[in-house]
Amino acid sequence: MLGTAGDIFQGINFSGVVVGFSINYPNETHVFLLTSGGNNFTTVDPPGSNGNPKGMAINDAGAFTGTLGSMGFVISPAVTLPRCIVAAP
């Protein structure tokens, strides 16, 4: 798919959208969304992320969660731009 070292599928919603992360050399990760049917594979790292983000779960509204280093994040779909909330441990 996207990662040169592998792709990890973590969550799927009722619409068939999958969230996970790709591992690239040298062990960098990037969050991805894969639409139902596998036709659209998109990288969606949280804004300003440089701590190897990992997508973990997605709900039926399309909001997804993940980890960014020792913090967690939530990205929810919006009309124009996604909103991202990063929470410290």
With DSSP H G I counted as helix, E B as strand and the rest as coil, what are the percentages for the chain, rounded to 5?
0, 50, 50
Residue 46 to residues 1, 3, 20, 71, Cα–Cα distance (Å) = 20, 17, 13, 12
Q: How far separated are the first and last CA of the chain, in Å rounded?
A: 32
Gyration radius of the chain over CA positions = 12
Q: Domain spans of the chain?
A: 6-87
Q: What percent of the chain has pLDDT over 70?
A: 83
CATH of domain 6-87: 2.40.10
Tokens in use for 79?
């009309």
Q: Is the pLDDT confidence value at 10 over 90?
A: yes
Q: How far apart are CA 15 and CA 45, in angstroms?
A: 21
Q: Per residue in 35-76, pLDDT tens?
A: 877 778 888 888 877 778 999 999 998 999 999 888 888 888
